[in-house]
């Protein structure tokens, strides 16, 4: 929400610097670059520091950078602030997602990741609307204040609930024997198979982000203008409809992923998305084009939280934060490379090759989603290596309570 609220104000905001569209693109890229480079370091840091204070500090950093950016009068400081805000934002998302999934019971990870995705979709929908209202009623600076309001609410909640919040600490990596997806020999799952599964999950994440940002937000608006003369308000209506419909079905998809194998959910819906994508080329009027846009967008949006649950199912808890940082890096690569690749194909070959390339990428994601995911099984030797025989430390306040039962 903090980034989406700023988008409606950027054209007017960049006019004061006299830099045009190129400068606007550079501002957006600076934020994305900050997110891209921090994901893995944030995942590593989560194992060495207490994640809850770390998360609050990161959100405070986003809050300060967002407000400060709105009052800048020179271009270079704006780039620096957006880059730093991207670092804070990317680290906060990586740490927050890791905490949520680390604290989720195994049988509910699909539902938890789907709820997490629903909240992110709601923020993505609310942000631009909030920023657009603010800049229309008042000025550009008010849009940046609106963008920081979500951070402000979270920080106030954190102060009130600080002593009551007891999040699950991200398990640190201990001993030389701790590896991603460490499993026992008796389980029959080799480390190589686990690494292949992790690579496939990262590939699915790359596909989902590339299709969303490169296709839905990059290629499709250009196709709408060229093929059916789609109006901006019609495109906005279609993108909003995707968010609303996806919010209605995301939780059901999470429940289905918990009840059955994650592949049963991921692979078919990605396959449906690949099959529907070529219909952009046969749409002859805006209504038909919007129907295709919503259908393709919903099938891609409702599954975007499932790879997170698959990742938590696959990797060792001590490596979850690192694996989450790697996954976020692949996703951010998709947000950068997707728009460049699909618009370049459109410029070079026209709509048909670009749409077929978009469908082909979704098909690749469906194939990657078919890779088998297995939970790591901890052997007695692993327990000795990690020193988990005693179990978690019990707080003194709990020991002093009256025993019941």
* CATH class in words for 175-384: mainly alpha
Cα–Cα distance measured from residue 198 to residue 137, given in angstroms and rounded to the nearest whole number: 47
Cα–Cα distance measured from residue 213 to residue 236, given in angstroms and rounded to the nearest whole number: 15
- What is the average pLDDT across 222-241? 79
Q: What is the 3-state secondary structure (H, E, C) of the chain?
A: CCCCCCHHHHHHHHHCCCCHHHHHHHHHHHHHHHHHHHHHHHHHHCCCCCHHHHHHHHHHHHHHHHHHHHCCCCHHHHHHHHHHHHHHHHHHHHHHHHHHHHCCCHHHHHHHHHHHHHHHHHHHHHHHHHHHHHHHHCCHHHHHHHHCHHHHHHHHHHHHHCCCCCCCCCCCCCCCCCCCCCCCHHHCCCHHHHHHHHHHHHHHHHHHHHHHHHHHHHHHHHHHHHHHCCCHHHHHHHHHHHHHHHHHHHHHHHHHHHHCCHHHHHHHHHHHHHHHHHHHHCCCCHHHHHHHHHHHHHHHHCCCCHHHHHHHHHCCHHHHHHHHHHHHHHHHHHHHHHHHHHHHHHHHHCHHHHHHHHHHHHHHHHHHCCCCCCCCCCCHHHHHHHCCCCCCCCCHHHHCCCCCC
Q: Answer whether 1-170 and 175-384 agree in fold.
A: yes
pLDDT surpassing 50 at residue 211: yes
Please tell me the predicted confidence (pLDDT) of residue 133. 82
Q: What is the pTM of this model?
A: 0.71
- Taking the mean position of all CA atoms in its chain, how far away is CA 82? 19
Ordered by start, the domain boundaries in the chain are 1-170, 175-384
Please tell me the predicted confidence (pLDDT) of residue 7. 72
Please tell me the predicted confidence (pLDDT) of residue 320. 81
Please tell me the predicted confidence (pLDDT) of residue 374. 61
Cα–Cα distance measured from residue 270 to residue 119, given in angstroms and rounded to the nearest whole number: 22
Inter-residue contact 343 to 222 (CB < 8 Å): yes
- Tens of pLDDT along 158-209? 988 887 776 655 555 444 344 444 444 434 446 778 788 889 999 999 999 8
pLDDT surpassing 70 at residue 22: no
Inter-residue contact 318 to 47 (CB < 8 Å): yes
* CA angle in degrees (0–180, nearest 5) for 265-237-128: 90
Inter-residue contact 103 to 167 (CB < 8 Å): yes
- What is the average pLDDT across 378-403? 52
- What is the average pLDDT across 357-367? 93
Report the range of poorest mean pLDDT among 238-242, 296-300, 326-330, 377-381.
377-381
pLDDT surpassing 90 at residue 263: no
- Tens of pLDDT along 56-101? 999 999 999 999 998 888 888 988 998 999 899 989 988 888 888 8
Report residue 376's pLDDT band, with 50, 70 and 90 as the boundaries: low
Please tell me the predicted confidence (pLDDT) of residue 396. 60
> Quick one: fold of 1-170?
Growth Hormone; Chain: A; (1.20.1250)
Place of tokens 């640190």: 172
């Amino acid at each position: 929400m903090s980034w989406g609220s700023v988008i409606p104000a950027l054209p007017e905001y960049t006019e004061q610097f006299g830099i045009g569209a190129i400068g606007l693109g550079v501002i957006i890229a600076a934020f994305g670059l900050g997110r891209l480079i921090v994901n893995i370091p944030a995942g590593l840091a989560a194992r060495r520091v207490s994640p809850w204070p770390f998360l609050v500090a990161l959100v405070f950093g986003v809050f300060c950078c967002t407000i400060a950016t709105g009052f800048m009068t020179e271009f270079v400081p704006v780039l620096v602030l957006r880059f730093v805000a991207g670092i804070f934002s990317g680290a906060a998302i990586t740490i927050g997602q890791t905490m949520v999934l680390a604290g989720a019971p195994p049988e509910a990870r699909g539902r938890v990741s789907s709820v997490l995705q629903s909240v992110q979709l709601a923020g993505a929908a609310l942000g631009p609307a909030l920023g657009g209202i603010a800049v229309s009623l008042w000025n550009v600076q008010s849009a940046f204040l609106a963008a920081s309001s979500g951070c402000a609410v979270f920080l106030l909640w954190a102060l009130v609930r600080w002593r009551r919040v007891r999040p699950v600490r991200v398990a640190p990596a201990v001993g030389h024997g701790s590896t991603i997806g460490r499993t026992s020999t008796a389980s029959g799952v080799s480390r190589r198979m686990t690494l292949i599964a992790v690579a496939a999950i990262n590939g699915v994440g790359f596909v989902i982000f590339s299709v969303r940002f490169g296709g839905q937000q990059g290629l499709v608006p250009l196709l709408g203008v060229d093929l059916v003369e789609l109006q901006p308000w019609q495109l906005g209506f279609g993108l909003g409809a995707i968010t609303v419909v996806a919010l209605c079905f995301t939780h059901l998809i999470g429940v289905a992923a918990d009840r059955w194998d994650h592949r049963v959910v991921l692979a078919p819906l990605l396959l449906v998305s690949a099959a529907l994508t070529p219909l952009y080329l046969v749409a002859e009027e805006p209504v038909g084009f919007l129907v295709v846009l919503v259908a393709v967008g919903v099938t891609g949006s409702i599954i975007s939280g499932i790879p997170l649950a698959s990742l938590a199912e696959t990797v060792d808890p001590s490596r979850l934060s690192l694996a989450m940082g790697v996954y976020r890096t692949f996703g951010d690569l998709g947000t950068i490379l997707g728009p460049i690749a699909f618009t370049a194909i459109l410029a070079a070959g026209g709509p048909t090759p670009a749409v077929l390339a978009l469908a082909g990428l979704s098909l690749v994601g469906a194939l990657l989603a078919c890779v088998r995911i297995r939970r790591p099984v901890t052997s007695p030797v692993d327990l000795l290596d990690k020193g988990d025989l005693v179990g978690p430390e019990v707080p003194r306040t709990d020991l002093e309570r009256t025993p019941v039962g």
